[in-house]
C-alpha cells in the first residue's frame, strides 16, 4: 500500500525521498526491519494472550531430559510468523504482482488449515487434531491453485537466451550490447532447475512428450501434479521437523534466505545473464515477501530457542512448508 502511495507522490508531486520506494533493495531492507519489530515486540503480547487462553502444548512422556518443563508451553505461535510476514508485505510489496498474490493466498490457506488443526487439539481436546485426509485435501487444493496459476497466468513467463551463434553475431556487431538483447521474447514454460547437475534445466513436459510430441498440450497436467506433490511433501516435511526448540524456524530461515538470493538474481536480467541462471521476469518482487518472512522467522526464534517460550504449532509449521514450496516452484528451483 505504501509502495503505491509513494509511487503516486513521486510521479505527481516529486515528493522528497519517495523515489526510494522504487528500489527493491530499499523496500526489502525496510520490510525485514519492520517484520523483526512486529515479531519481537508484538510476539510477547501474543504469547501472553495464548497463555491466558491456556493454549498449552501436551508433551508425550518419552523420558527425555527437560521434557516435563515443556508441558504447558503455549502453542499456535505460528500466528506471530503470519502477522509479522503479511503486514510488511501489504505495506511495501507490489500487490498486483502475481507471485505476491500467490504467496499471500498460500500463507492464509495453510495458516487456516494449521489453525483449525491446533484449535481442534486444544479446544476440542482431540489429540489427533484435524484428520490427515483433510490436511492432504487442503494441500492438494492449494497445489491445484498454484500449479494452474503458474501455468496459465500471462505474467508467469521465462526469457531464454538466444542460440550461441546468434549471440556471437550480435556481440561481434556491438560488443557493448545490453544483456536484454541476448534474450528471446518472453514465453510460457514448464522448465525447472535440478541442482548440482550439468545442463541442469528440466522440462516437466518431457515426461510425456517422449511418448509423442502431440502430448505437449497436456503438459499443464504434469506441471500441476508436480506442484501438488512438492507443496504436500514440503509442508508435511516442515510439520515433521517442528519438534526441537528453534529447529523448524532456524532451518527454514536459512532455506528461505537462499531462495531469496535466487529470486533476486533470477529477476535481474544482468545478473541472471552473468551467472547463467534462468531469467524469470517479475519474480524479483518475491524478495520483498522473503525479507518479511525471514524477519518473522528470526523474530519468532527469539521466543522459540531453548528453552522455548512458545511453539509454532501446525499453524506455523504447515504455513512455513507451504510458503517454501511455492517460492521454490516460482523461482524454478523445485527440482
| Beta-ladder partners of 158 | 187
**Pick from 164, 23, 161: nearest CA to 92:** 23
Distance, CA of 265 to chain centre: 16
- Does the pLDDT value for residue 32 go beyond 90? yes
Instruction: Give residue 14's pLDDT.
Output: 84
- Cα distances (Å, whole numbers) of residue 207 to 202, 203, 243: 10, 8, 37
- pLDDT (average), residues 281-290: 95
Segment 287-305, tens digit of pLDDT:
999 999 999 999 999 988 8
pLDDT at 69: 53
Judge contact between 87 and 99, C-beta under 8 A.
no
Q: Comparing 34-48, 137-151, 241-255, which segment has the lowest mean pLDDT?
A: 241-255
pLDDT of residue 163: 84
Pair 72, 292: CB distance under 8 Å: no
- How far apart (Å, rounded) are the C-alpha atoms in residues 104 and 152? 19
- pTM for the full model? 0.91
- For residues 281 and 159, the answer to whether their CB atoms sit within 8 Å is yes
pLDDT, residue 263, reads 94
Kindly state the helix (H) or strand (E) to which residue 34 belongs, with its residue range.
helix 24-37
pLDDT for res 155: 93
* pLDDT confidence of residue 198: 66
pLDDT at 52: 80
Selection from 148, 151, 334, 135 nearest residue 235 by Cα: 135
Which uninterrupted H or E stretch holds 192? strand 191-193
- Phi first, then psi, for residue 11 (nearest 5°) are -75, -40
Closest CA to 78 of 106, 112, 105, 127: 112
Q: What are the backbone angles phi and psi of residue 13, rounded to the nearest 5°? A: -125, 0
The grid coordinates of residue 299 equal 523474530
For residues 73 and 263, which has the higher predicted lDDT (pLDDT)? 263
- The answer to whether the CB of 278 falls within 8 A of the CB of 263 is no
- At 67, the pLDDT band (50, 70, 90 cuts) reads very low
- Of 12, 83, 86, give the one whose Cα is nearest residue 45: 83
Q: Tens digits of per-residue pLDDT, 234-277?
A: 999 988 887 777 788 889 999 999 999 999 999 998 898 888 88
Question: What confidence tens digit (pLDDT) does each residue in 309-324 have?
Answer: 888 889 999 999 999 9
pLDDT of residue 125: 75
Residue 28 to residue 260: CA distance in whole angstroms: 10
Residue burial 74-101, b: 16+ Cβ < 10 Å; e: rest: bbbbbbbbbbbbbbbbebbbbeebbbbb
Tell me how far apart the alpha carbons of residues 87 and 284 are, in angstroms, rounded to a whole number.
19
Query: Residue 157: which pLDDT band, with cuts at 50, 70 and 90?
Result: very high
Count of CB atoms situated within 10 Å of the CB of 304: 27
Residue 64's pLDDT is what? 45
Q: What value does the mean pLDDT take over residues 196-218?
A: 85
Amino acid at each position: 500500500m505504501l509502495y503505491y502511495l509513494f509511487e503516486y507522490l513521486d510521479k505527481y508531486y516529486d515528493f522528497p525521498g519517495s523515489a526510494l520506494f522504487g528500489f527493491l533493495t530499499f523496500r526489502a531492507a525496510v520490510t525485514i526491519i519492520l517484520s523483526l519489530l512486529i515479531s519481537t515486540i508484538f510476539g510477547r503480547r501474543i504469547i501472553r494472550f495464548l497463555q491466558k487462553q491456556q493454549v498449552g502444548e501436551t508433551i508425550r512422556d518419552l523420558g527425555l531430559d527437560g521434557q516435563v518443563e515443556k508441558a504447558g508451553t503455549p502453542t499456535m505461535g505460528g500466528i506471530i510468523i503470519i502477522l509479522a510476514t503479511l503486514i510488511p508485505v501489504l505495506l511495501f510489496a507490489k500487490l498486483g504482482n502475481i507471485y505476491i498474490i500467490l504467496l499471500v493466498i498460500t500463507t492464509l490457506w495453510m495458516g487456516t488449515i494449521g489453525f483449525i488443526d491446533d484449535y481442534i487439539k486444544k479446544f476440542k481436546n482431540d489429540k489427533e487434531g484435524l484428520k490427515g485426509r483433510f490436511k492432504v485435501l487442503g494441500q492438494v487444493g492449494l497445489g491445484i491453485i498454484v500449479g494452474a496459476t503458474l501455468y496459465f497466468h500471462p505474467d508467469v513467463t521465462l526469457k531464454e537466451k538466444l542460440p550461441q551463434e546468434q549471440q556471437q553475431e550480435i556481440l561481434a556487431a556491438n560488443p557493448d550490447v545490453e544483456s536484454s538483447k541476448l534474450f528471446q521474447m518472453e514465453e510460457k514454460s514448464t522448465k525447472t532447475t535440478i541442482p548440482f547437475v550439468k545442463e541442469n534445466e528440466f522440462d516437466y513436459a518431457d515426461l510425456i512428450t517422449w511418448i509423442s510430441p502431440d502430448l505437449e498440450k497436456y503438459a499443464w497436467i504434469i506441471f500441476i501434479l508436480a506442484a501438488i506433490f512438492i507443496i504436500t511433501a514440503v509442508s508435511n516435511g516442515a510439520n515433521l521437523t517442528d519438534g526441537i526448540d528453534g529447529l523448524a524456524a532456524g532451518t527454514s530461515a536459512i532455506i528461505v534466505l537462499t531462495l531469496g538470493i535466487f529470486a533476486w538474481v533470477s529477476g535481474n536480467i544482468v545478473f541472471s545473464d552473468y551467472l547463467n541462471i534462468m531469467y524469470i521476469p517479475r519474480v524479483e518482487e518475491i524478495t520483498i515477501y522473503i525479507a518479511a518472512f525471514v524477519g518473522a522467522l528470526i523474530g519468532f526464534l527469539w521466543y522459540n530457542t531453548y528453552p522455548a517460550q512458545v511453539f509454532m504449532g501446525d499453524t506455523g509449521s504447515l504455513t512455513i512448508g507451504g510458503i517454501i514450496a511455492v517460492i521454490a516452484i516460482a523461482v524454478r528451483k523445485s527440482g
